[in-house]
Amino acid sequence: MNTKLVEDIAGAILYEGYLLYPYRASAIKNKQRWNFGVLYPREYAERQSGADAWKMQTECLATADSAAKIEVRVRFLHLVSEGAVERELDLPPIELSVLAARPVRQDFVEAAVELEAEEVAGGVFHIRTTILNTSACVASTRDDALLHSLVSTHTILIVDGAEFVSLLDPPEHLRDLASACENLGAWPVLVGVPGQRDTMLSSPIILYDYPQIAPESPGALFDGTEIDEILTLRIMTLTDEEKLEMAQGDERARQILERTESMPQEQFMKMHGVLRAGS
C-alpha cells in the first residue's frame, strides 16, 4: 500500500463539506451543516422514514490464495461544539478463509463494525463490511443527533496475499459477481498507485479508481467539488471583519486564511489553467 497516496485521499474525504466558503461560523451554510457519510443514531434515523441512515454497507470482491488476510479501518468525524474530532476504528488482520467460516463483529463506543466473507468461486471472495451507529441517544432534533453521529464515514480495506477486483471495470468473467455487490451509502474504489490492487477505499462520495489530489492544490478547502483558484481569490476579497471572524473561529478555517495570505505568487499561478492528458 502506498500510505501517503491513500492517506491524502482519505483525509480529503474525511473533511469534504466540513467547512464551506466563506469559512465563517456565522454563515448560514456553516450553521446548518451538511456532511457526506453521516450515520445517525438508529432511533433518530428510523423516525426519519428512511431519509437518514444509521448504517453503511460495503461489498466488494477479492481474488486470494488460501492464506490471504484482510485488515479493515473505519474512519469518521465526531462533531463537537468547537469543531470535530477524528476517530478511527481498526479490525486486526484476519485470514479470509477464517472469516468465511466465522464472521466477526467488533463493538466500540456508540459504533460497531461487522466483517464477513464468502468464497463465491474458486479463489474469489465476496467481502462485506457493515458499519453501525449503536448510540442509544434519543435525539429530538438533527443538531442533537449529529453530536452522536458518525460523520464523513469511510472504510479502508487492505489485503495481503490477495487482490481486489475493480467494481467499475471488473474482468469479464467476474462481471456478474461484481454487479451483485450491494453497497449502501458507499462507493468502493481502488486506491494507491495505479495498477496496485491491495487497497480499497469505500467512500461516501462517488469516486473513480485511483483518485488523486491535484499536485498544484496548496491544501484542503473542504468545499464540495472545490475549485482552488476561485476559492482562493474569494478568500482574498473578504473584508477585514470577515477575516477576523474566520481567524477567531474554527482552527482549520484559521489555517486556510493564513495559508492563503502567505501564498507566493508562483504557487497561485500554478492553480490557473492547468491542462492534463484527457482533459
DSSP letter assigned to residue 19: S
Domain that holds residue 266: 228-270
Q: For the segment 112-165, what is each residue's pLDDT rounded down to a tens digit?
A: 999 999 999 999 999 999 999 999 998 889 889 999 999 999 999 999 999 999
Q: Are residues 245 and 122 in the same domain?
A: no
Please report the pLDDT score of residue 225 as a whole number: 45
CA 121 to CA 140: how far, in whole Å? 47
Q: How many structural domains is the chain composed of?
A: 2
Q: Does residue 100 lie within any of the structural domains?
A: yes
- CB neighbourhood size of 49 (10 A): 7
Which helix (H) or strand (E) segment holds residue 88: the answer is: strand 83-95
Amino acid letter, residue 265: Q
Which helix (H) or strand (E) segment holds residue 159: the answer is: strand 151-164
pLDDT for residue 17 is more than 50: yes
CA 125 to CA 140: how far, in whole Å? 42
Q: Does residue 51 lie within any of the structural domains?
A: yes
pLDDT for residue 104 is more than 90: yes
Q: Are residues 62 and 158 in the same domain?
A: yes
Q: Does residue 82 lie within any of the structural domains?
A: yes
Kindly report the pTM of this predicted structure: 0.76
- Which range is most confident: 8-12, 65-69, 223-227? 65-69
- CB neighbourhood size of 44 (10 A): 23
Q: Are residues 67 and 196 in the same domain?
A: yes
H-type helices in 167-238, by residue range?
A: 175-179, 228-236
The answer to whether the beta carbons of residues 114 and 132 sit under 8 Å apart is: yes
Q: For the segment 201-235, what is each residue's pLDDT rounded down to a tens digit?
A: 999 988 999 988 765 554 444 454 445 555 666 67
Q: Are residues 131 and 266 in the same domain?
A: no
Q: Are residues 85 and 180 in the same domain?
A: yes
Q: Does residue 2 lie within any of the structural domains?
A: no
Distance of CA 85 to the CA centre of its chain: 15
